[in-house]
Amino acid sequence: MRTYLVTGGCGFIGSNYIHYMFRKYGDSIRIINVDALTYAGNPENLKDVEKRENYTFIKADICDKEAISAVFAQNDIDRVVHFAAESHVDRSIKDPEIFVRTNVLGTAVMLNCAKAAWELEGGGFQEDKKFLHVSTDEVYGSLEEDGGYFYETTPYAPHSPYSASKASSDMLVKAYMDTYKFPANITNCSNNYGPYQFPEKLIPLIINNALQGKKLPVYGDGRNVRDWLYVEDHAKAIDMVQEKGRLFETYNVGGHNEKQNIEIVNTIIETLQEMLAEDDPRRALVTKELITYVEDRKGHDRRYAIAPDKIRAEVGWEPETMFRDGIRLTIQWYFEHGDWMKNVTSGEYQKYYNEMYHVK
Ligand code: NAD
Ligand code: DAU
């Protein structure tokens, strides 16, 4: 039975990936999820799978060498899928150090432990062992408003502390592949949306605020562009790259779904108005009057857009979920998981929100 070591599986994409993998492979794989449970890690995201015999959760920090090497020593790991990271750009602008620690040092520890576990005495690595590093399109920097795409060959030009730390972690993976022929891949994906996303990110924040009639903060002129991908399509891409991609290669993942932020906010408001029942009291709260332009993010990248040509040609992956369907599925999920939202927005979140958005 193939054993996966997933890091950061209690976060947004990691938990969607674990659900996807169990739906696809059932009892024929085993998943070990290592997560430190930071503010972004929520065991509730995996409530549905925690009783499975082929699922194990280990609370550990990826920077903790001893803990991570023990996981490798005690289990014959075949695949590593490395999601664990500090992931929010705004937090990285306020407090960069934790991003360097988790994203750079944590990735170095993961690479070192996997290398030590998999390398053979006479050189080389055990057969069919693979490490996939989950990265971001933000490492490529910012595109002009009127054209261009990120290709795998686009030079790295990160701007935020978050993207600089992810670029550094990508470089470490590349160094391991070049120096040791370490069996790895890197995926650089565009913005994800879908169930279980923490409401510090644009889409769940807007849904949550709109449903409470709170202001909808739009940074700058609202015309920055992101390329949105439904999270399940990302999970599928990761699995396909690991099984069908060429080792040592980078694959960009994205859906040719560029939208300005203001367009996203308007679509959410319109979709909420359509989906809320006539007699739902929240319906009257959701209006475009809530849109509030606020101070721009420092160093705000103008536009991201992925060219997914390589992953399509070599791996056969294509995004399957149209944005108009994905956003309805997402909103429906948040309708059905009001308690999840209540739990994650109590306590620390309020403090973060009030400071970030200058709420008195
Ligand atoms: P997230 O913030 O929702 O989840 C991160 C998870 O990592 C959490 O469960 C957290 O507890 C865990 N974690 C953090 N520090 C840890 C540590 N030191 N040790 C162990 N676990 C730790 O993030 P996400 O949005 O799910 O992103 C997952 C990965 O995908 C990240 O590497 C991110 O850079 C990348 N990515 C995200 C997007 C996106 O749109 N969200 C797009 C492309 C790539
Ligand atoms: O591109 C991939 C990246 O997408 C991932 O690597 C990151 O982990 C992920 O957080 C995401 O980064 P962004 O900064 O693009 O996502 P965020 O949801 O924070 O913001 C999306 C856009 O919306 C961005 O242009 C900033 C803007 N924004 C965001 C928030 C939270 C607002 O206008 N208002 C807001 O309140």
Ligand nearest to the CA of 9: 1
Partnered with residue 29 across adjacent β-strands are 2
The predicted model scores a pTM of 0.99
Q: What is the pLDDT at residue 146?
A: 85
What does 46-95 look like in DSSP terms, one character per residue?
A: GTTTTT-TTEEEEE--TT-HHHHHHHHHHS---EEEE--S---HHHHHH-
Number of domain units in the chain? 1
Report the pLDDT value the prediction gives residue 40, as an integer from 0 to 100. Answer: 98
CA nearest neighbour of 255 among 325, 200, 196: 325
Distance between CA 29 and CA 14 in Å, rounded? 16
What is the domain range of residue 81?
Answer: 2-197+230-255+302-321
Q: Is residue 277 part of a domain?
A: no
**From the alpha carbon of 136, which atom of ligand 2 is closest?**
6
What is the model's pLDDT at position 360?
Answer: 80
Question: Is 19 within a domain?
Answer: yes
Residue 198 · residue 40 · CB < 8 Å: yes
- pLDDT of res. 347: 85
Q: Is the CB of 198 under 6 A from ligand 1?
A: yes
Tell me if 36 sits within 8 A of 59, measured CB to CB: yes
Determine the pLDDT at residue 218. Answer: 98
Would you tell me the crossing angle of helices 202-211 and 323-336 to the nearest 10 degrees?
A: 50
Specify the pairing of strand 216-219 against strand 250-253: unpaired
- Tell me, yes or no, whether 326 lies in a domain: no
pLDDT in tens, 170-207: 999 999 999 999 999 999 999 999 999 999 999 999 99
Closest ligand 2 atom, CA of 89? Answer: 14
Residue 147 pLDDT? 85
Residue 269 inside a domain? The answer is no
- Do the domain assignments include residue 344? no
pLDDT at 255: 80
* Ligand 2 near 159 CB (within 6 A): no
CATH code at position 161: 3.40.50.720
Query: What percentage of the chain reaches a pLDDT higher than 90?
Result: 98
Q: Any idea what DSSP says for residue 302? A: -
Residue 358 domain-assigned (yes or no): no
Q: In what order do the strands lie in the sheet with 55-59?
A: 55-59, 29-35, 2-7, 79-82, 130-136, 184-189, 250-253
Identify which of 6, 59, 82, 83 to mutate to test ligand 1's pocket (most ligand atoms within 8 A of the CB): 83
Is residue 255 within 8 Å of 229, Cβ to Cβ? yes
Q: Point out the residues of the chain with pLDDT beneath 70.
A: none
Atom of ligand 1 nearest to the CA of 137: 43
Please give the distance, rounded to the nearest whole angstrom, from the Cα atom of residue 201 to the centre of ligand 1: 12
Distance 41 CA to ligand 1 centre (A): 8
- List for the chain the helix, strand, coil content (%; round to 5): 45, 15, 35
Residues with a catalytic annotation lie at 137-138, 162
Residue 357 lies in a domain: no
- Confirm or reject: Cβ of 139 under 6 Å from ligand 2: no
193, part of any domain = yes
